[in-house]
Amino acid sequence: MAGSEIVPNITVSAWKVWRRNWDVFFKTYKVNFIPPLVEPVLYLLAIGFGLGMFVGEIDGIPYVKYIAPALLAISIMNSAFFECTYSSYVRMYYQKTFDAMIATPLALDEVIAGELLWGATRSLIYSTVMLGVLIAFGVVDLPSSLLILPFSFLAGLLFASIGMCFTAITPGIDALNYPSFLFITPMFLFSGTFFPLDVLPEALQIFARGFLPLTQVVTVTRSLTLSTLSPYFFYSLIWIGIVTVIFFFLSVFLMKRRLIV
Amino acid sequence: MDSQAPVIEARELTKTFGTFTAVDRVNFSVYPGEVFGFLGPNGAGKTTTMKMIQCVSPKSGGKITVFGLEAGIYQREIKRYLGVVPQETNLDLEFTCYENLLIYSRYFGIPHEDAVPRVDALLKFVQLEEKRDVLIDKLSGGMKRRLVLARALINNPSLLILDEPTIGLDPQARHLIWEKLKILQARGNTIVLTTHYLEEAERLCNRLVIMDSGKILVEGSPSALVSKYVTSDIVETENSPEVIGCLDEIGAMYEVFGDMVQVFTENPREVAKKLFDSCNPGRVFARRGSLEDVFLKLTGRALKD
């Protein structure tokens, strides 16, 4: 049971932390389910059908079907990232929930792991609801789109882990605005979400393919909703797998460095 | 009690933050069934010491064992038998009293069917049965503190650690907490607490230490400390040259605090008589020496922060 600096001390107890957040979520489910229900409808109407009137088709695909998988990817990103930045920070700093938990046999490593698993679960919940809306609008292919559900958990874990790294190093809750506006917002626009990467300067294209997590997630979701594999599909999937593992352990390490003093 | 193995044993225990030494080579032992207090001004190192006992903050030097296990290594085993009341009330605001305790029981791996009756019994113990299904927001400060105490008892701890258990409470709420702690002690629990309230320490603690600037200044039972460091009685009177002259004349031990003089004596009647008879003292007031006098004597009257 020795606590080590580097090797995380994680057992199945992490799910107890996850369960606490799950319980809170369903206690306030009425407000929690509004964003995934309303958001895709608004975007589909305004951008898909409205702007789509002028855009017509991209690569032979109706614009509304082109952006539908991007909406899923953005939702996966936002739900996990914001859960593990602002919400985790509130639990850590203001509500002292982590302190209460580590006064029990739980290790801090498990608290963080539980938070990350919960962030990923939130992505899964939101993308499930949103996928239902998109199916109702008839803008995604079945059954391949259903594979987005397990994928959303993995991709959610990626954004949860990245978010938790920022939470671990932020001096205060306001400073979390920097990653939100300088990292999340540009990704939202420049990851092949609303227009193809091809129209960007080549250097930016390479950057987006090589370094932006959302690019990889959109590549996978678009392949699944259009049931057409992108040449980058497997590259993106492996990219997500490797980077998730790195940031998962990095976030646990950084959080221990912050909180165990 | 000394024949028993200590519940907590600290030897040369040290904690540094960068160049700042928060706890400086302290030694203490806490034995089964006793209430052991840590007193000291703000920044004395009390909470840091508590955190090392709780295994949430690693020591920088020395040795600390809890239940005979080394705190830095057997964290999970030790924490299983600890109950902790932290200084800051950190209940889950989204949940009711009942849910707060139930969710906490899961962290200890207590099976649901065992936890439910236990939660209800604990709510009864801290007199919150009627608030069972009320959200935390709707509770008073005293109720929240009682709920935190109940939460700390969810795992039937052998050792209870209380960091400022009655901070910010009104006298009624404070007395209720004291009553519960007395019951817990009578049941054989070992209790370690920190407090600013000297009356609290005097009432509850079998033994205590007074800390200042990371060091333990003294250790003993409240009454032993009072008789060792101050006299059994203290006579307070107004500060005037006449009074000071008189006190010097009879060779009394006294201290001047602003417009007041405190005379330390085993014989308050005699001092008071002398003052009234020949020193024109204004008001004279005699009282028992207290832990507060020991505390102020040892840690000084200057503001600590």
Question: Which sequence spans correspond to the domains of chain A?
Answer: 14-179+197-259
Cβ neighbours of A189 (radius 10 Å):
10
Chain B residues whose CB is inside 8 A of the A97 CB are 90, 92
Instruction: Provide the shortest C-alpha distance from residue B80 to chain A (in Å).
Output: 5
CATH of the domain at B242: 3.30.70.260
Q: Looking at the partner chain, which of A3, A27, A104 has a beta carbon nearest the beta carbon of B94?
A: A27
What's the whole-model pTM score? 0.91
Residue B169 lies in a domain: yes
Is the minimum CB–CB distance between B107 and chain A shorter than 8 Å? yes
Q: What pLDDT is stored for residue A6 in this prediction?
A: 66
Q: How many independent structural domains does chain B possess?
A: 2
A82 vs chain B: nearest CA distance in angstroms? 19
CA distance A173 to A184: 16
Q: Name the band, by pLDDT with cuts 50, 70 and 90, for residue B241.
A: confident
State whether B181 and B208 are in the same domain: yes
Token reading at B151: 């939460």
Q: Is residue A122 a contact partner of residue A83, using CB atoms and an 8 Å limit?
A: yes
Give the torsion sign (CA, B135, B136, B142, B147).
Answer: positive
Residue A116 DSSP SS3: helix
> What is the number of other CB atoms lying within 10 angstroms of the CB of residue B143?
19
Q: Give the pLDDT score at B232.
A: 83
B74: nearest CA partner in chain A = A1
**B207 and B255 share one domain:** no
Q: Are residues B109 and B183 in the same domain?
A: yes
The pLDDT assigned to B210 comes to 94
Quote the radius of gyration of chain B (alpha carbons, Å): 23
Nearest CA to B293 among B198, B195, B216?
A: B198
Collect all residues of chain B within an 8 Å Cβ-Cβ radius of residue A104: 79, 104, 107-108, 155
> How many Å lie between the alpha carbon of A130 and the closest alpha carbon of chain B?
26
Q: Percent of chain B, pLDDT > 90?
A: 65
Is residue B170 domain-resident?
A: yes
Task: Output the pLDDT for position B301.
Answer: 66
List residues bridging with B238 in a β-sheet.
Answer: B260
Determine, yes or no, domain membership for B216.
yes
B73 contacts in chain A (CB < 8 Å): 1-3
**What's the mean per-residue pLDDT of chain B?**
91
Q: What is the pLDDT of residues B272-301, one digit of tens each?
A: 888 888 787 888 888 888 888 888 888 876
Assembly ipTM: 0.89
Rounded average pLDDT over B233-241 = 88
Q: Is the pLDDT of residue A28 over 90?
A: no
Identify the pLDDT of residue A3.
46
| CATH number assigned to the domain comprising residue B38 | 3.40.50.300
Angle, in degrees to the nearest 10, between helices B141-152 and B97-107: 30
User: Which residues form the domain of B246?
Assistant: 231-288
B38 part of a folded domain = yes
- Examine the pLDDT at B53 and tell me if it is beyond 60: yes
pLDDT band for position A75 (50/70/90)? very high
Among B28, B10, B21, smallest CA distance to B214 is for B21
Please check whether residue B302 lies inside any domain of the structure: no
pLDDT exceeds cutoff 70 at A5: no
Q: Are B240 and B209 members of one domain?
A: no
Q: What is the mean pLDDT of residues A46-68?
A: 91
B207 plus B249 within the same structural domain: no
Residue A170 has pLDDT above 50, yes or no: yes
Cis peptide before B41 (omega within 30 of 0): no
DSSP of A27-48, one letter per residue?
Answer: HTHHHHTHHHHHHHHHHIIIII
Find the range with the poorest average confidence among A39-53, A112-126, B3-17, B37-51: A39-53
Once rounded to an integer, what is the mean pLDDT over residues B48-69? 95
**pLDDT tens, residue by residue, A103-149:** 999 999 999 999 999 999 999 999 999 999 999 999 999 999 999 99
Q: Would you place residue A4 in the very low, low, confident or very high pLDDT band (cuts 50, 70, 90)?
A: low
Residue B84's contacts (CB-CB under 8 Å, 6 or more residues apart) are A103, B54, B152, B160, B161, B163
d(CA B178, CA B169): 12
What angle do helix axes A108-137 and A14-27 make, rounded to 10 degrees?
Answer: 50
Question: Is residue B72 domain-shared with residue B32, that is, in the same domain?
Answer: yes
- Token reading at B224: 């032993």
Q: Are B202 and B59 within one domain?
A: yes
Give B196's pLDDT tier (boundaries 50, 70, 90): confident
A258 touches B: beta carbon within 8 Å:
no
Half-sphere exposure of B169 (CA within 13 A, CB side): 27
Identify the CA nearest to B157 among candidates A150, A105, A132. A105
Shared domain for B35 and B110, answered yes or no, is: yes
Burial class (CB in 10 A: 0-12, 13-18, 19+), A41: middle
Q: Is A226 on the interface with B (CB under 8 A)?
A: no
> Is B59 part of a structural domain of the chain?
yes
User: For B99-126, what is the mean pLDDT?
Assistant: 97
Q: What is the dihedral of CA B284, B288, B292, B297, to 10 degrees?
A: 70
Q: How confident is the model at residue A155 (pLDDT cuts 50, 70, 90)?
A: very high
Is B70 within 8 Å of chain A by CB? no
A–B: how many Cβ contacts below 8 A?
72
Looking at the domain assignment, is residue B303 inside a domain? no
- DSSP tag of B6: P
B35 and B177 together in one domain: yes
- Which of B15, B48, B70, B90 to mutate to test binding with chain A, by most A CBs within 10 Å of its CB? B90
Same domain, B79 and B172: yes
In angstroms and rounded to an integer, the radius of gyration of the C-alpha atoms of chain A is 19
Q: B185 and B276 share a domain?
A: no
Six-digit token string for B9: 């044993």
pLDDT-derived band at B146 (thresholds 50, 70, 90) equals very high
pLDDT of amino acid B110: 96
Closest-CA distance of chain B to residue A13, Å: 8
CB A97 to CB B90 under 8 A? yes
B201 inside domain: yes
Q: Is the pLDDT of residue A34 over 90?
A: no
Reduced to 3 states (helix: H, G, I; strand: E, B; else coil), residue B39 is strand
* Judgement on whether residues B214 and B271 belong to the same structural domain of the protein: no
Residue percentage of chain A with pLDDT more than 90: 83
> Between chains, do A1 and B17 touch, taking CB under 8 Å as contact?
no
